[in-house]
Structure 1
C-alpha cells in the first residue's frame, strides 16, 4: 500500500468515479483532471482530504493541489483507479471539449506564447543588466556609467547584446516555430519561415521605422518591398497560421508518396510570398494600432483610470488565461516606443498577490499544514509566478485576493502617473526593477512599496473586521 492510497481511493470516489475521468495527468504540484461531468466532483470533500492543499478549475481542467510529492500521489491514484495517465499536452487537448470557442482561442494563444516565456524572461534580465551597466550613472558623483569607466564591463555589455538581439530582434523565428509546434505541423518549416522574416538581406524593421530607403525585389512588371519584421509579433503570427493551414491543406490532397516533396514546397513558398506582400504589412498596421491605443490610453489624461482598471483586474485575467495576450502587446510596445508601460503594472500585481499571502502567513502563524503551500506561494509571487498563491490561498479566502487587487490598482496608478517605462519584459516580481528604465527606477520602487504594504495591511484589516470572510468557497464554487 502506498503512502497516499487511502486518500487516492477517497479522491476517486469524490471526483465521480473512474467513469467521470476523461483524462488525468500531473505537473510539478498538481493533479490535472479532465472530467466528463465537472458538476459530479465534490470539491468540498476533495479539499478536506489531508493530502490536498486546494483546487481550482482552469482551461477545462480540474486541478487539485497536492504539493511537491504529487508524483507519488499520482502513482497511487493510478494504481487504485486503473486510469492510465496521459501527457499534459494530451490532457490539454481533451480539456478543450469543456471549453467554448472563445476559451479555446485564448488557450491556443496561451500555448503559443508559453514556450517563449523562459527566453523572454532571460532576455529581460539581460537587457535590465545592460541597462544598469550602460545607462545608470553611479560613478564619479553620478557623472559616469560603469561601461564608460571599465573596459571589462564594456566588453560584457557588448557581448550580452548578442543574446538580447537573438531573443527580441529574432522573435518572429520563435513565434513561427511555436505556432507550427502547437498545431502539429513541421517545426523546421516554421523556423525557416521565421528566418525569412528577419533575414539580413532585408531592411531592418527599425530602419523602416526610421525612414530609410526600402530596397525591392524587382520582378520586372511588379516589385516587392524587402522589409524585415524584427521584433514584430502579429506579422509572425499571421504568417505562422497561414503556413499551418497550407501544410494541412496540401497534406489532405497530395498523395502520401509525394507528400514529403510537394507539401513543404507548396506550403512554404506561398506563405513566404504572402508574408511579404500581404500578411506582414497588414500585421504591421494592426500591431501599430494596438500599441498606439494602449500607449495613448496610458499616457493620456485618463491614464490613471486605465491603470486603476488594469491593475485591479489583472489578477482575475490570470485566472481566465487572458493575461497571456499582454505578452504580445508588451512586445509590440517595446518595438514601437522603445519600452513598455504595461509590463510594470503586471510586476506590481504579482507582488501585491504575494503580499496578501504574506499577511495570511502572519495571521495564521502556527498553521504548519497551510504554510506548506503559503510560504512557497509567497516566494513564488515575489519571483513573478502567482498561480500557487492565488489558487492555493488568496481565492480560497477571497478577502486577501481583493486586498491584493486594490493594492495592485493603487500601485499601477502611481506607476502610470509617473510615466514608468520598462525596457523589456523581465521577471514579473521584485527583481522586475532591473528592467525599468533608469530615470523611472525610484518611482517604480515607490510603487513596489505600495504593492507590498497596502495588500498586507488591507488583508489584516479585512480579517479583523470580517470583511468578505467566508465568501471564498462560495465564490470558488460559483465561478470555478
Structure 2
C-alpha cells in the first residue's frame, strides 16, 4: 500500500466517486477538483481524513488542502481513481460549468477590479488626508490647517496630483486590467484608456456646467461627435475595454501572422476609440447615471432607513459570494455623479462589525491560545478594512458571531444613512475609513462606529450564552468558558481539572527561523491568499523580496522540490516540516521564473542560497511576489512567534517555534 492510498480512497468515495469528478489538478498545497455535482461531496467526512487540513470552494473549484506533500497524495489519488489530471488553467475552464451567468459576471468584475484595489486604497488615503487638511475647522487654529499653514497648503495642493491620477484617470486602469484579464495587448488597453481622458477633451466634471453650444466637437461633415472626456467613469471604460479585447481576439484569428503586428492593433484600436466616443461612452454614461441615481435615491429617500439597514445587514454575505465587487463600480459612479458616496460608509462599518464579533469571541474563548493565533490577527485585519480572514476563520465557523455582526452592521449603516454620512473617496475601510468621510459627518460616523463595535460584541456574547444559532460552541455552566467536556455517570457534563496523575509535559525544543530573502517581513495573516492567511496550512510568515535571491529559513534537509520549482520542502533539525512557497499562484508559471540551486537530500543552513525567483518576471505575469515560510506539521509545534518587523535580510533571525 502506498503512503496515502487509504486516504485517497476515502477522499474518492466521499467526494462522490470517479463519476462526480469533471477535472482534478493540484498546486503546491491543495487538490483542486471541479465536481459535476458539488452537493454530493460529504464535507464532514472529508474533514475527518487524516491527510486533509481543510477545504473551501472558490470560483467553481472544490479545493482540498493537503500540505506540501500534495504531489505524492495526488499521485496516489490518480492511481486509485484512474482520473487523469489537467493543468490549473484547464481546471479553471472546467470550473466555469459550476458558475451561473451572474457568478461568471461577478467573477469577471472581480478580476478587473482586484488589480486596481491597491491604487484605490492609496487614493482613498490621500483624499482622506486632504479631507483633514482642508475640510475640518479647528477652533485652536481659527480655521482649517491649510488656511493656517503655508507648508500644509502646499502639501495639500501637491497631493492632488496622485489623487487625480488615481480617480480621474481610473478608465486607464480599467481598460488595462481588461486587456490583462482577456490576454490581449495591454499597451493597447492603456492607449484606449488615455483616449477616454485626454486633456483635449472636455473634462467630464465640466460637462454639466458647460452650455451645449460651447461643447467642442469633431466635425466629420456629415456628422458631429462631442469631444467629451470620461474621467472617473467606470461603465464606459468597461464597455470600450471589452470591445477592444474581443476585436483583437477576432482579428488575430483571421489576419496572417506575418502582418498581424501592424493590422491587428490598427483594426482593433481605431474602431474601438471611435465607438467609445460615438456609442459606448454615451450609453455607458447613461447606464452608470441610472445606477447611481437609483442607489442615491434609495439612500436619501423617505425609506432610506430600510434601504441602508438591508444593505448593511447583507453586505457581509455579499463578500462571501463575491458580489461585493459590484459595489466598487457603484461607489465610483456615485462619486463621479455626486462628488461623494453614501454607500462606502456602510461598507467600512460592516468591516468594523465583523471585527467586533471576533473581539467578542476572543473574550469568550480567552485562554485558547491556538485559536487566538487566528482570531487576534483576523480582528486587527477587520478593523483595518479586510474581513475575509475573520469571516472564514472565525465568524462563519461558529455562525452566531457572523449573524451578530450582520445585525450590528445593519443598525450602524441605518444610523449613518439617517445622519446623511457620505464619503469623498473609497478604498479605506474599517476604523481608518473615517479619513474618507466628509468632515461635517465625522461626529455621526464616530457614533455609527461605536454602534458597529458594541452591538456585535454584545449580541455575540448573548447569542452564545443563550444558545441562539449556536450548535458547536458549548458553554460551561459554572464558568461560561469553552473547554473539553466529558460525560459523567448521571449524564451531565463537566470540565475535568488536571490531577497529580497527569503525565508531565515533555520539555519543549526551540527552532530558530531566519529571513528567507531581503525585503519586507509580514505576518502570514497579511498574505493575500485565504489558505495561507487563515493558517489552514500552518503558521509562518512571508517576505516581500527586493531582489531575486531566496535562502533557507532554517537549518535542515531538502525533502521536496516541486516540479514547477515554485515551492521547496525542508525538514528542520527539530523535525518541523517547512514549506518555502515563492509567489502566489505561481504554479501557473510552470517554473519559468525560478532557478533551484539545491537537490533533494541536501543539507542547508540559513546562509544557503536555495533558489532564485525572477521578481520582475513574476510581477509582469500579474502575480504577487511574497515568499512564504509555512510550518506545515502543526501537531509538532507548540507555538510560533515573530521577533522582527519591517526590513529584513538573509541570515537574520526573525522568529522561533517551540517544538514538542
TM-score by length of 2: 0.65
Contact 2:26 2:74 in 1 (8 A): no
Contact 2:35 2:62 in 1 (8 A): no
Q: 1:155 to 1:142 in 2, by over 3 A?
A: closer
> Which residue number in structure 2 is paired with residue 98 of structure 1?
98
Hey, which of these two has a bigger chunk of strand by percent? Answer: 2
The alpha-carbon deviation at position 368 of structure 1 amounts to: 2.3
- 1:252-267 counterparts in 2 under 5 A? 252-267=253-268
Q: 1:11 to 1:288 in 2, by over 3 A?
A: farther
Which of the two has higher C-alpha Rg? Answer: 2
- 1:309-388 counterparts in 2 under 5 A? 309-388=310-389
> Which residue number in structure 1 is paired with residue 463 of structure 2?
462
Residues of 2 paired with 1:447 and 1:35: CA distance? 43
> Which residue number in structure 1 is paired with residue 35 of structure 2?
36
- 1:159-178 counterparts in 2 under 5 A? 159-178=158-177
Contact 1:55 1:391 in 2 (8 A): no
> Which residue number in structure 1 is paired with residue 202 of structure 2?
203
Structure 2 counterpart SS, 1:209 = coil
Q: Write the deviation string for residues 374-414 of structure 1: whole angstroms up to 9, x where unpaired.
A: 22211111111111111121111111111111000000010
- 1:106-255 counterparts in 2 under 5 A? 106-138=106-138, 140-141=139-140, 143-212=142-211, 213-255=214-256
Q: Write the deviation string for residues 427-456 of structure 1: whole angstroms up to 9, x where unpaired.
A: 221110110000001111110111111011
Contact 1:133 1:145 in 2 (8 A): yes
Q: 1:86 to 1:411 in 2, by over 3 A?
A: farther
Structure 2 counterpart SS, 1:75 = coil
Structure 2 counterpart SS, 1:426 = coil
Q: 1:15 to 1:258 in 2, by over 3 A?
A: same
Residues of 1 paired with 2:136 and 2:53: CA distance? 45
Unaligned runs of 5+ in 2: 79-84, 474-660
Contact 1:433 1:444 in 2 (8 A): yes
Structure 1 counterpart SS, 2:33 = strand
Contact 1:177 1:187 in 2 (8 A): yes
> Which residue number in structure 1 is paired with residue 453 of structure 2?
452
> Which residue number in structure 1 is paired with residue 592 of structure 2?
none
Q: Which one of 20, 23, 26 corresponds to residue 24 of structure 1? A: 26
Contact 1:25 1:91 in 2 (8 A): no
Which one is further off, 429-438 or 369-378? 369-378
> Which residue number in structure 2 is paired with residue 75 of structure 1?
68
Structure 1 counterpart SS, 2:207 = helix
Residues of 2 paired with 1:102 and 1:196: CA distance? 30
Which one is further off, 191-200 or 253-262? 253-262
The alpha-carbon deviation at position 31 of structure 1 amounts to: 4.4
> What's the RMSD between the two structures over aligned residues?
2.6
Contact 1:15 1:41 in 2 (8 A): no
Residues of 2 paired with 1:413 and 1:239: CA distance? 37
Asked if residue 14 in structure 1 is aligned to residue 11 in structure 2, the reply is: yes
Contact 2:32 2:62 in 1 (8 A): yes
Structure 2 counterpart SS, 1:143 = coil
The alpha-carbon deviation at position 41 of structure 1 amounts to: 4.2
Unaligned runs of 5+ in 1: 67-72, 473-480
Q: Which structure exhibits the higher relative contact order, with contacts defined as CA atoms closer than 8 Å and separated by 6 or more residues?
A: 1
Contact 1:54 1:392 in 2 (8 A): no
TM-score by length of 1: 0.88
Q: Write the deviation string for residues 203-224 of structure 1: whole angstroms up to 9, x where unpaired.
A: 1001112225211112222211
Q: 1:378 to 1:22 in 2, by over 3 A?
A: same
